[in-house]
């Protein structure tokens, strides 16, 4: 089962945690694996933070990038294909529950790509 949570809410982490943010939270020990191929593009984040695009556009463009990356052979595609064997896992980023975050676009995309993958609470 797939969950999402903030770095700052470890009580919501279930199973293996994966960092899907470009940066590591300051002052926190590494307690997760990193998945750089799931990081949002830097120019996309800058456009969103600079209010040049809204969250809906960020999500659309992020998913387009996921599709492009998934279409090529490599580490990204291999990881997605291995997801059924992971058991429970949580995608981590900075934003607190209830705030817009790319992990909320990533989770449904993964569910569409991985047969049998179910969503737990998306926080």
pLDDT in tens, 81-109: 999 999 999 999 999 998 999 999 999 99
Mean pLDDT rounded to a whole number for the chain = 94
- 121 three-state secondary structure: strand
7: domain range? 2-122
Average pLDDT for 67-82: 91
Token digits of residue 6: 């903030």
Q: pTM (2 decimals)?
A: 0.91
Residue spans of beta strands (DSSP E) within the chain: 2-6, 16-19, 33-34, 89-93, 119-122
What integer pLDDT is reported at residue 112 of this predicted model? 94
Number of domains the chain contains = 1
């Amino acid at each position: 089962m797939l969950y999402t949570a903030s770095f700052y809410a470890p009580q919501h982490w279930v199973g293996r945690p994966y960092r899907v943010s470009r940066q590591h939270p300051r002052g926190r020990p590494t307690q997760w694996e990193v998945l750089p191929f799931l990081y949002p593009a830097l120019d996309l984040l800058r456009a969103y933070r600079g209010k040049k695009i809204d969250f809906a556009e960020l999500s659309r463009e992020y998913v387009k990038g996921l599709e492009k990356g998934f279409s090529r052979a490599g580490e990204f595609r291999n990881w997605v294909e291995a997801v059924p064997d992971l058991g429970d896992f949580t995608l981590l980023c900075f934003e607190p529950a209830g705030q817009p975050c790319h992990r909320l676009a990533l989770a449904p995309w993964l569910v569409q790509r991985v047969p049998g993958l179910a969503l737990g609470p998306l926080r």
